[in-house]
Structure formats: structure tokens, C-alpha cells
Amino acid sequence: MLSGLDLEYWLVNHPTIRNFSWTPGKTLGSSPHFLFFTILSYLFSTFILPHRTISSSISPQFIKTISAFHNIFLLLLSFIMALGCLLSTFYHAPHLHWIICFPPHTKPTGPLFFWAYIFYLSKILEFADTLLIILSNSIQRLTFLHVYHHSTVVIMCYIWLQTSQTLFPAVLFTNASVHVLMYAYYLSCALGVRPRWKKVVTNVQILQFYSSFVVLGVMLYYHFTGSGCSGVWGWTFNVAFYASLLLLFVDFHKKSYGASSNKNKLPVKPSKPFFCSNHTHY
């Protein structure tokens, strides 16, 4: 078992983490061109490539195995990111005010920005969620919310790093924690077990948006009553992004769990046993 000191070293004070620096044009994935072509490639592969031809040559058992490993990896990675962010905040935050409002001109260096960078790369890795849906011939699960979220959240994470954006540690910690629950749900599906707590996952996802707006209000108070907070302009994108996702998730919740949703649904062909149908995530 790792002790507290071991965790502090491996998740906070390891030289790679402690000395991390986001340098535009030098750090992998830090250029606008990388961001643009990454998102473009995702959208192209989602809508243009002949998926049915590809999926027909792959056995369902192979997709099931890959899906299980994919979900295990992202579950563990989400847990490590949440813990790394929490410990980095605990050991490096000079005071509580700093967690809510980075001072102006904060440089994107050190443990917290290392975990923001890993989080950014993890969102690119999550593109594989879409690929697995396509390969399983479960195209009905490829909703606008799913594709919109995957293609846009990468921009949010890029802005975090590019602007040293205030409040990202709170968003990173809560989102990574929610993803532990979410990927546990997906893993159960991949193993052939259909959990009964699908609604809980969606409710927790919606709750994180409401909490984000509350904390944002506190940050704006500090920003306008003090010397300002780092990366506030980036929050203009985030606010619009969170608001759009909140509306889409509430609509998804209403359609999936509304009192009349089951009565009005027509019979549909059952989805693959290793995928839980009609679920999305943030």
C-alpha cells in the first residue's frame, strides 16, 4: 500500500509533475493547429468514414474485450486525475482564496497544470468512446449531445492551459470524480451487467453543472472586488459551453426518465449486450 508520502511524491512532487510547464508551440498538443486538426479528424471519422464496412469485419467479442479494457483504463485514469488534482491543490494552494481565483498572470506550470494537461489529453483519448459505438453498430447512441460534447470539451481544456484559467481545479476534480462513477457504469455494461443506477449517473452529471455556476459566481465576486483573476476571458467560452450542455442534459433527462417517456416509445431492437443504450456523458 502506498503511504501518504508516496502518494505525495508520485502525484505531486515527482520531477516530471513538479517541473511541468505548458509552453505553446513546444508542449505536445499545445498549438492551435493541433487542436483544430484533432477535432476535425474526430468529426471526419465520425460522419464520413464507411463505418459499417469496418465494423462488419470485427467480431463482437473483440469489441466487447476492447470496450472493457478501455473503460477500466479511463476509470483508473479518472480516479488518478481526481486524486492528483486534489493533492496538488492541498499541497500547493497558498490559501483558500487562491483555489477560487488565481492571481493575474499566473504561469501554467507545476502540478496542477500537469493534471490539467493530462485531463486535456484524456479528452482526446475519450474519442475512442465514439469509435466503439460505431464499431458496435449502435449508431442510435451517437446523439448530437455525445458528438457535441466530445468535440467541444477538448477546446475547454485547451483554454484552461492556454490562459491559466481560474477555477479549473474545481472543474477537473468534480468532472474526473463523476467519470469514475460513469466509467464504472460503462464497464458493467461491457461485462454484460446492466446497472440499475443509470439515472444516478445522469443526475450527478447535471448536478456538476449547477455547482459550476455557483462557484463561478463566487469567482466573479473575487474578480470584480479584488485585483482580478487569471484567465477570466476563457470563462466566457466555458459559461456558454456549460449552459448548452446543461440544456442538452436536462432535455436528455426528460426524454429518458420522464413519466411519459416509456409509454410513448416504440419498440426498438435491443442494443448489444456490452453497451448500455441511450446514455451519454460529460
Summarize pLDDT for 73-88 with one digit per residue, the tens. Answer: 999 999 999 999 999 9
pLDDT for the residue 156: 95
Angle, in degrees to the nearest 10, between helices 234-257 and 144-163 = 160
Summarize pLDDT for 113-124 with one digit per residue, the tens. Answer: 999 999 999 999
Round the average pLDDT of the chain to a whole number and report it.
86
Q: Distance between CA 189 and CA 275 in Å, rounded?
A: 5
Q: Is the pLDDT of residue 229 over 90?
A: yes
pTM of the model: 0.90
Summarize pLDDT for 123-153 with one digit per residue, the tens. Answer: 999 999 998 888 887 777 788 989 999 999 9
- 3 state SS of 76: helix
Summarize pLDDT for 95-110 with one digit per residue, the tens. Answer: 888 888 999 999 999 9
- Count of alpha carbons within 13 Å of 1, Cβ hemisphere only? 2
Neighbouring residues of 184: CB distance < 8 A, sequence distance ≥ 6: 75
Name which residue leads in pLDDT, 58 or 183: 183
Point out the least confidently predicted range of 17-31, 148-162, 212-226.
212-226
pLDDT for the residue 196: 84
pLDDT for the residue 157: 97
Q: To the nearest whole percent, how much of the chain has pLDDT over 70?
A: 87
Type of residue found at 251 = D
Place of cell 468514414: 49
